[in-house]
Chains A and B, each alone.
Chain A
């Protein structure tokens, strides 16, 4: 019996698995791959580290920059100035560092973009998931994904050279650079993102819920509005927050179309300067390391980072808190 087993026909020396060598290779690979995974932690540390380091030098130098005529400014006063001053002029001779000027522009443009993108994106998502034929959905979904990948500089071109002249036809007070055009185009840019992610959430609501609603004598709109959308709420809200965080950090559209004029206020027709546009303005020129201009980059970057981080954490929390589990 045993003689027929092929193993025994072969000389015993044929099988020499070098197990220890394989194990060593595996260990080396594991260490290398683990090191690669650690790069993500290093990146975070790098981002937070540089932001904090340079932002701290900024706040250290701030009182000196603000002091004049022998009038001393304390660190606390510096921070208060940073948060409350109504002007942002770090590159001028008389320097002022009111970050809220930049934040207000960012918030206004983001608000306009959400005003455009939320109704368009959400209704388009509802249309694709609930009203469009499966065939149309199969065509439009990948189109949305490709559109979400159009470089933002392209949208910047569109905002500056197409939408602004178009708006000026109807609204003469609109200037060549303005927050309105940038906000609208930013909204157009994030619409595919909201549509695509919300559609995923709406589409994955189980059919049994729709059936249950129809069986109670509800119309299609009532089913969509009162049953499907609430069931998809966590996904919809997280897509909205992701889009908002994208809009806040968006650079090219606002740099090209909204201008570089740090003004405090919420007039959408005039040039403004967002946080990202300021970073571009400074890095485009040469800001040598160690100057106050270089340090402001990181102070502004820090604020931008904290805002988007807060939004991401909120989205994460919201999804965990409100996600419905269906089996």
Chain B
């Protein structure tokens, strides 16, 4: 009686046949489906993480971090992959950070609405939707082949530049948002003191947008760190037994090493692939944590 009451007017009232109980049953069904979908999604992802932890935790030991890949799974380690990834990240950060932030400053602070700006904006929107393996084909043709004298072919530099191009749109979009969040009054205050545009941007706008910019850059780097396909496309799947010594050195990287191990038939290699995944995911989580830290600081100062 509580839910229906007079409500019991399931019977027609006036010109209406409300069929309340049927409608409420549908409501319950729908709510159940919505909750079920959410729970199922969370459970599947938990299953994924759980599987990897179970498969991989056992084979993580100090040797795993210091050893080189080996034909014998018990001796294999990720040292070259770890160093390769660190080298890659340095190249990616060193190129994509200034270029992405500079491009965003141009679009947000300097650009007037002309054909060039509109072209750039359309391009950024489209580039964000291009599959990463296509960037790999670009890197293969341009960085590995045409620019071989500079990059050394299949090298840290080729890989890093390819990944840089891949995440540039992400960095530009994030930086523009951070710049847009800086109140205009700050710019006007700077102009009122006789500073020109660049002086205002450099000494006021950019510093206060910096936490937001860094959040975006770190999140973009964390995307680059897990990318496998473009690196395979430029040919970085070789069996490497050394850490990179220069930008022109051949390299391997974490996701590529994982890919190699997953593709082996022996189950032992699958465990060390899972161990590699755990290391990679911990790196990603740390980067995300730093990004969230910056984001929170960013939100406080606003």
Contact of A23 among B107, B194, B196 (CB under 8 A): B196
Known contacts A38-B120, A40-B124, A124-B37, A149 near B228 by CB under 8 Å: no
Contact of A34 among B47, B110, B237, B259 (CB under 8 A): B110
Counting CB contacts under 8 A, is B159 at the interface? no
| CB atoms of B196 and A22 under 8 A apart | yes
- List CB contacts (< 8 Å) of B65-118 with chain A: 98-100, 102-103, 105-107, 110-111, 116-117
| CB atoms of A308 and B129 under 8 A apart | yes
Distance in Å: Cβ of B119 to nearest Cβ of chain A: 6
Name the B residues within 8 Å of A308 (CB-CB). Answer: 129-131
Name the A residues within 8 Å of B212 (CB-CB). Answer: none
Counting CB contacts under 8 A, is A54 at the interface? yes
Contact of B129 among A43, A50, A242, A289 (CB under 8 A): A242
- Chain B CB within 10 A, most for which of A17, A33, A127, A316: A33
Counting CB contacts under 8 A, is B223 at the interface? yes
The B contact surface, by secondary structure, is helix
Name the A residues within 8 Å of B116 (CB-CB). Answer: 34, 37-38
Contact of A158 among B48, B107, B134 (CB under 8 A): B48
Counting CB contacts under 8 A, is A234 at the interface? no
Contact of B34 among A123, A147, A158, A256 (CB under 8 A): A123
The A contact surface, by secondary structure, is helix
Counting CB contacts under 8 A, is B216 at the interface? no
Known contacts A153-B255, A221-B27, A298-B137, A127 near B38 by CB under 8 Å: yes
Counting CB contacts under 8 A, is A32 at the interface? yes
Counting CB contacts under 8 A, is A323 at the interface? no
Partner-B contacts on A (CB < 8 A): 17, 19, 22-23, 25-26, 29-30, 32-34, 36-41, 43-44, 46-47, 50-51, 54, 119-124, 126-128, 130-132, 140, 142, 146-147, 149-158, 160-162, 188, 191-192, 195, 217, 219-222, 224-225, 242, 245-246, 248-252, 255-256, 276, 279-280, 283-284, 286, 289, 297-298, 301, 304-305, 308-309, 311-312, 316
Given contacts A151-B255, A151-B281, A191-B41, 19 further A-B contacts (CB under 8 A): A22-B199, A33-B103, A33-B105, A34-B111, A36-B100, A36-B102, A154-B277, A154-B280, A156-B259, A156-B262, A157-B258, A158-B51, A245-B131, A256-B263, A279-B137, A280-B232, A289-B145, A297-B137, A304-B133
18 contacts between A and B (CB under 8 A): A33-B106, A41-B119, A41-B120, A46-B142, A124-B41, A149-B223, A150-B284, A154-B280, A156-B262, A157-B262, A161-B262, A249-B131, A255-B259, A279-B233, A301-B133, A308-B129, A309-B129, A309-B130
